[in-house]
Structure 1
Amino acid sequence: MKSFLLVIAAVQILHCSGAPSPKAALRASMMKLNKITRIPSLCGITGRAVKDVYRTGKMSYNVDLAFTVKETVCSKNSRLTFDHPRCHLRTKKTAKKGFCKSRVEYFAGKIVDIDVECRGLRTFDRRSGSFESSENSIEAKIMRAPRRGAYRRVKQVRRIVG
Structure 2
Amino acid sequence: MKSFLLTIAAVQILHCSGIPSPKDALRASVIKLNRITETTNLCGITRRRVKDIYRTGKLSYKVDLTFSVKETVCSKNSGLEFDDPSCRFCSKKTAEEGLCRSRVEYFADELMDIDVQCRGLKTVDSKSGSFESTENSIEEHNDDSRGRH
Distance 1:62 1:114 in 2: 10
Distance 1:26 1:14 in 2: 21
| Alpha-carbon offset, residue 91 of structure 1 | 1.7
Distance 1:138 1:46 in 2: 18
Distance 1:119 1:40 in 2: 17
| Alpha-carbon offset, residue 102 of structure 1 | 0.3
Corresponding position of 1:122: 122
Change (3 A) 1:137 1:48: closer
RMSD of aligned residue pairs (Cα, Å): 1.8
Change (3 A) 1:138 1:116: closer
Does the Cα contact within 8 Å between 1:42 and 1:82 map onto a contact in 2? yes
- With normalisation by structure 1, the TM-score equals 0.78
The number of residue pairs the alignment matches comes to 139
The residue type equivalent to 2:105 in the other structure is E
Distance 1:6 1:138 in 2: 47
**Structure 1 or 2: more helix by fraction:** 1
The residue type equivalent to 2:123 in the other structure is T
The residue type equivalent to 1:123 in the other structure is T
Map 1:44-83; keep pairs closer than 5 Å.
Answer: 44-83=44-83
The residue type equivalent to 2:20 in the other structure is P
The residue type equivalent to 1:45 in the other structure is I
| Alpha-carbon offset, residue 52 of structure 1 | 0.3
Residues 18-68 of structure 1, C-alpha deviations (whole Å, 9 max, x = no match): 220100000000000000000101001000000000011111111100000
Distance 2:35 2:5 in 1: 45
SS at match of 1:54: strand
> For structure 2, which runs of at least 5 residues remain unmatched after alignment?
140-149
| Segments ≥4 residues shifted beyond 6 Å | none
- Percent sequence identity over matched residues? 72
Does the Cα contact within 8 Å between 1:17 and 1:59 map onto a contact in 2? no
> For structure 1, which runs of at least 5 residues remain unmatched after alignment?
140-162
Computing the radius of gyration from Cα coordinates, the structure with the larger value is 1
| Alpha-carbon offset, residue 6 of structure 1 | 4.4
Residues 112-162 of structure 1, C-alpha deviations (whole Å, 9 max, x = no match): 1100000000001213432111125469xxxxxxxxxxxxxxxxxxxxxxx
